[in-house]
Amino acid sequence: MMDHLANTEINSQRIAAVENCFGASGQPLALPGRVLLGEGILTKECRKKPKPRIFFLFNDILVYGSIVINKRKYNSQHIIPLEDVTLETLPDTLQMKNRWMIKTSKKSFVVSAASLTERKEWISHLEECIKHLLTKTGRQPCTEHAAPWIPDKATDICMRCTQTKFSTLTRRHHCRKCGFVVCADCSRQRFLMPRLSPKPLRVCNLCYRQLLAEKNKEGEVDRRQTEPIRSAIQGYEPSSGDDSDKSDDEKAEQWPADTEFYTSAVSWSSFHS
């Protein structure tokens, strides 16, 4: 299908139509060899509540955005390289059925289709494109993925201390490492995770201690590897890079592992053939 549609007039027209719907707020999508394979509306699990989103599957990227006027105007465009995507089928919940998770190194989220058949089609086409790309580039499948954010309504209390109750005045926050819903006291720390952002991100106290321990362990390995070089250089005085001696005695209870967090009759348009 991809070879058949590449560089055809109908494919160019379809891609131009998608670009036109996103307008000036979207990125150019037309590239030599790029093919628009299908499109449809999926329900995306967002922080506040599930929301319909338009999705476009190309042979190398997945594009989605918010629906202003269906088939006419979309905004908040997101572009995901398919080489970075891993899929995971999820069980149904009372709120959402036909669910699966789209996992990437920068962002992971749950979507659901209007029917089981539609979910199978989406996953089948996505997996085919991902396999084709990885074979073409020689890359290995991505193994590190960002944690999906637990929806706000999944809990009324902090998922770390299990004491703080959320209210209008007591805000919910999300740990960027584990995705848990936590209170301000349990997420005062920031940690630099270059894979997610060039700036330090909010993390819960438990994840902060784990990340700090991993960083210190890596630093110790580096020091051991460079020690022979240091001792060979006369007068070498290593500087101290440890500028953090913060400790945290906050409770770090794990949220029950069997809790279902991820929670839609939405129309859909078929894949192009």
User: Could you tell me the pTM of the whole model?
Assistant: 0.74
Can you tell me whether residue 58 is helix, strand or coil? Answer: strand
Placement of tokens 């006419």 in the chain: 72
Tokens of 153: 């309504």
| DSSP letter for each residue of 86-140 | EEEE----SS--SEEEEE-SS-EEEEE-SSHHHHHHHHHHHHHHHHHHHHHHTPP
Quote the CATH superfamily of domain 147-220: Zinc/RING finger domain, C3HC4 (zinc finger) (3.30.40.10)
Tokens of 257: 């592992």
Domain ranges of the chain: 9-145, 147-220
Kindly give the confidence (pLDDT) of every residue in the chain, 273 residues in length, as a single tens digit, with 9 standing for 90 and above. Answer: 566 777 789 999 999 999 999 999 999 999 999 999 999 999 999 988 899 999 999 999 999 999 999 989 999 999 999 999 999 999 998 888 999 999 999 999 999 999 999 999 999 999 999 999 999 888 888 888 899 999 998 899 999 999 999 999 999 999 999 999 999 999 999 999 988 889 999 999 999 999 999 998 887 777 777 666 555 545 434 333 333 344 444 444 444 545 454 444 443 344 544
| DSSP letter for each residue of 16-71 | HHHHHHHGGGSPP---TT--EEEEEEEEEE-SSSEEEEEEEEESSEEEEEEEEETT
Please count the other Cβ atoms lying within 10 Å of the Cβ belonging to residue 29.
18
| pLDDT of 255 | 46
Residue 169, Cβ density class (10 Å: 0-12 exposed, 13-18 middle, ≥19 buried): exposed
Closest CA to 255 of 215, 211, 195, 204: 204
Tokens of 265: 């009759």
Q: Which amino acid is at 164?
A: T
Fold of the domain spanning 9-145 = PH-domain like (2.30.29)
Tokens of 258: 């069997």
Q: Could you tell me the sign of the dihedral formed by the alpha carbons of 129, 101, 251, 185, in that order? A: positive
d(CA 247, CA 195): 25
Contact by Cβ (8 Å): 62, 80 = yes
| pLDDT of 242 | 38
Contact by Cβ (8 Å): 22, 28 = no
Please count the other Cβ atoms lying within 10 Å of the Cβ belonging to residue 53.
21
| pLDDT of 251 | 42
